[in-house]
Amino acid sequence: MTSGAPRADVWGVVTVHRPAQVPPLLGDLAPQVTGIIVVDDGSGAEFDVIRADIASTGAQVITLESNRGIGAALNHGIRCAIEHGASAVVTFDQDSTIAPGFVAALGAAHEHARAHDVPAGPVVPEFFADVSQAGSSTPQGVVHAAHAIQSGMYLPSEVLERVGLMDEALFIDLVDTDFEIRCLDADLPCIVAPGLRLPHRLGARYRVPGPLGAVLPTLTLSTPFRYYYRARNRIVVGRRHPRHRSRLRRDARADYAYFLIAWMLARPRSTMRKLLIAGFRDGRAERLGRMSPELAADAARVTWRARPV
């Protein structure tokens, strides 16, 4: 392989959970990769028809019997791709969309770094949902990532061999942050493909009523249960990576502001408070994995004092 040539045998791994349809992403991704593995993370038997429709596109479908979380779903797909001889894997969520040449641009960014002897690990698009993931640049024109989200992440097989897979115990939220920092500590920093964009929907948009609406007329809110995992994993990841305390504290302050807003808009607020306190408590106690069924039932009853946009 020449230093500037794209890598062969790149596989796509797409995670889905209770998909409403065959993800349009699959049609856009198929011409850009050697093969696609779709991991269904515990959607249940009622989604058998959609899984069959996904399989009819030529994708290999892996069905997890229960909801194992994004880390486990990604790891199942990545292992399968490596077993098929993948030299690199590109991971996606079910609601991502990509343009032609997306995967090639990720691979070209990695090969550019290799050609200039710049250490590089995973590659992500410069823009994720119109938010820049770019940080500082090297004299050779390699752009490091300031932060990285796993959907649209290009993972060379040698990075996975050195760093390992995603931490399944985190379940969801900050799984990619933990992986990114582990890569950085292994001298395989995440880089971006300059100018590349990945359109993506980050949560749902709401219009905020009352006095708060004058400051935040619209706001993105996650599904209520996610705030438990975000609070818990923020504690865990912060403790796990003390060398990156400054960055993680900065990120945590932003999260805590969102936690406050989520609490203010939650109905009932007492349940959102319970979710956040449980997350902080379990994070300090290193209780990882899936949240308890009782807490999940509480989270399912939370609604927002806001109107969907």
Summarize pLDDT for 153-170 with one digit per residue, the tens. 999 999 999 999 999 999
Q: What amino acid occupies position 222?
A: S
- Give alpha helix (H) positions in the chain: 25-29, 48-56, 70-83, 102-115, 157-163, 175-185, 212-215, 225-240, 245-265, 269-284, 293-300
- pLDDT at residue 86, as a whole number: 97
- pLDDT at residue 2, as a whole number: 33
pLDDT tens for each residue of 116-149:
999 999 999 999 988 999 999 999 999 999 999 9
- pLDDT at residue 216, as a whole number: 77
- pLDDT at residue 213, as a whole number: 76
pLDDT tens for each residue of 27-74:
999 999 999 999 999 999 999 999 999 999 999 999 999 999 999 999
Q: What is the pTM of this model?
A: 0.93
pLDDT tens for each residue of 74-86:
999 999 999 999 9
pLDDT tens for each residue of 217-273:
888 899 999 999 999 999 999 999 999 999 999 999 999 999 999 999 999 999 999
Task: Tell me the CA end-to-end span of the chain in Å, nearest whole number.
Answer: 49
- Structural domains in the chain, CATH included, are 10-198 (3.90.550.10), 204-308 (no CATH)
Identify the CA nearest to 90 among candidates 45, 152, 30.
152
- pLDDT at residue 7, as a whole number: 61
b/e burial code for range 168-206 (CB count within 10 A of at least 16 → b): bbbbbbbbbbbbbbbbbeeebbbbbbbebbbebeeeeeb
pLDDT at 8 over 80: no
pLDDT tens for each residue of 184-214:
999 999 999 999 999 887 778 898 887 777 7
Where residue 129 falls (left for φ over 0; alpha for ψ -120 to 50; beta otherwise) is left
Residue 1's pLDDT band, with cuts at 50, 70 and 90, is very low
Coil/strand/helix, residue 67: coil
Average pLDDT, the chain: 94
